[in-house]
Amino acid sequence: MTTSNENQTAAIVALPEENEKRFTVVAILDQMPLVALVVLCLVTAILSDRFLSPINLTNILLQASVMAIVAMGMTYVIISGGFDLSVGSIVALSGCVSAWVMLETNVPLGIIAGIAVGGAVGYLNGYIVSHLKVNPFIATLGMMVIVRGIVLLITDGRPIYGEDGLPEIFLELGSGRFLGIHYLIWVPVILFIIFNWLLHMTAYGRRLFATGGNREAAFLAGIQVKRVVTSAYVWCGILGGVAGVMLASRLQSGQPTAGEFYELTSIAAVVLGGAALHGGVGKLYKSMIGVFIMMVLANSLNLLNVHSYWQRVAVGLVIIAAAAADQIKSRRN
């Protein structure tokens, strides 16, 4: 805030002390998702003594790891002003392609193929949205159905694990540990560092925010908006591919039905983390908090023996409540 003392004409400048008060209120509202997560954990820990057991916590982290990666890509797409319904299908396609290729050739090639096919579908999404100007909802809805159809076609609806299962090294990836922590947990940690840097510290990141925030203004500021929008879908596809490969290693097979509802869960997590569906607003770490809210909530309801049908109702309520809270916050601003 300014310390200039010639501000008689600048009515917008708030006095310092009141400004700080306001700042605290906004800051707390701003961290609502984190507060909600902490409260959720505390309540669950009190109600169930199993919650804080190492096995349960590891379980949550393992479940969160795949979803976290999908949500990173979804954050990019949502900041660009769109969203991607096809990412669940991409997870399945990548897992199956990866499993199939590594059975035919070798493990590294299988992993690369799985990720690449995710990126390719992402590129198609991006091209359809930015060049053909199809609404992202329709474009990725169509792609979701097409890709799922292709997965079922190439696998004939059956899991892929060959005659003697997938290669040993690949399965090691799904269950092995480094420094006592699962590989599957290391992967999202490393990806988070990279993609957080890319989003918040680079020129590319500024372009992405600018394009999502106001496409026309970004265009007039000399940004190649089509390329930027397409890139967001490509990242989402690539990350969906990584998630698919990881899931395959955990399930020890390429599952044609894998990743169902991942698109909805990840969108919900990103929105819970405070990103705006109209684009241009969002933080990667907050999306991760959103993922953890979704995962801890599911885990908590399980531990408390809530019927799975009721679980769905509860999750839906939480999503709507989060969106409503966000509206109240933006009105206060």
Partner 1 sequence: MATNVELLTVRNMSKRFYGTQALDDVSFNLAAGEVHTVVGENGAGKSTLIRILGGIHEKDSGEITIEGTPSEFTNPREALDAGIVIIPQEMQLVLDATVAENVMLGEIPSKKWLGFIPMLDRRRLREQAGEALRKLNYHGSLDISVSRLTFAERQLVVIAKALLHQAKIFILDEPTASLEQREAERLFEIVHSLKEQQVGIIYVSHRLDEIVELSDKCTTLRDGKVVDVSTRGHIEKENIIRLMTGRDLAELHQPHKLEFGETLIEHDNALSLRRGEVLGLAGLLGSGTTDYLRNLFGAGEEAVAMKLSGNEVQLKNPIAAIKHGIGMVPGERRNALIYDLSVRDNIVLPHLPEVSKGWRLDSKQIDKLVADLIEALDIRPRDPKKLVRFLSGGNQQKVIFARWLIGNFKVLLLDEPTHGIDVGAKVRIHRLMREFTERGGGVLFASSEMNEVVNMSDNIIAMRQGEIIATMSRETGEYSEGYLREALGG
Residues forming contacts to partner 1 in the complex (CB under 8 A) are 1-2, 4, 7-16, 18-19, 22, 198, 201-204, 206-207, 209-210, 213-214, 216-224, 276, 280-281
Q: Which is nearer to partner 1, 230 or 300 (CB)?
A: 230
For residue 177, what are the β-bridge partners? 182
For the bound state, the minimum distance from the C-beta of residue 236 to partner 1, rounded and expressed in Å, comes to 20
Minimum distance from residue 19 beta carbon to partner 1 (Å): 5
Q: Closest separation between CB of residue 16 and partner 1, Å?
A: 8
Contacts of 330 (CB under 8 A, 6+ apart): none
Please, which residue, 56 or 206, has the CB nearer to partner 1? 206
Q: Is the Cβ of residue 228 or residue 258 nearer to partner 1 in the bound state?
A: 228
Q: What's the length of the chain?
A: 333
CB of 321 to partner 1, least distance (A): 23
Complex with partner 1: residue 174 or 205, whichever CB lies closer? 205
Q: What are phi and psi of 325, to 5 degrees?
A: -60, -40
Nearer to partner 1, 72 or 147 (CB): 72
Give the shortest CB-295-to-partner 1 separation in angstroms.
28
Between the two ends of the chain, the Cα-to-Cα distance in Å is 16
Lookup result for tokens 């474009």? 139
CA atoms lying within 13 Å on the CB side of residue 155: 28
* Kind plus residue range of the DSSP H or E element containing 187: helix 183-201
Neighbours of 299 (CB within 10 A): 22
In this complex, which beta carbon is closest to partner 1, that of residue 175 or of residue 202?
Answer: 202
**Nearest CB to partner 1, comparing residues 183 and 219:** 219
Burial 49-77 (b: 16+ CB within 10 A, else e): eebeeeebeeebbbbbbbbbbbbbbbbbb
Instruction: Find the helix or strand (DSSP H, E) in which 297 lies.
Output: helix 284-303
Select from 95, 88, 85 the least CA-distant residue to 115. Answer: 95
- From the CB of 159, what's the least distance to partner 1, in Å? 40
The token duo for 122 is: 């992402």
Closest separation in Å from C-beta 121 to partner 1? 26
Assign 73 to helix, strand or coil: helix
Distances from the Cα of 46 to the Cα of 40, 57, 275, 302, angstroms: 10, 15, 31, 15
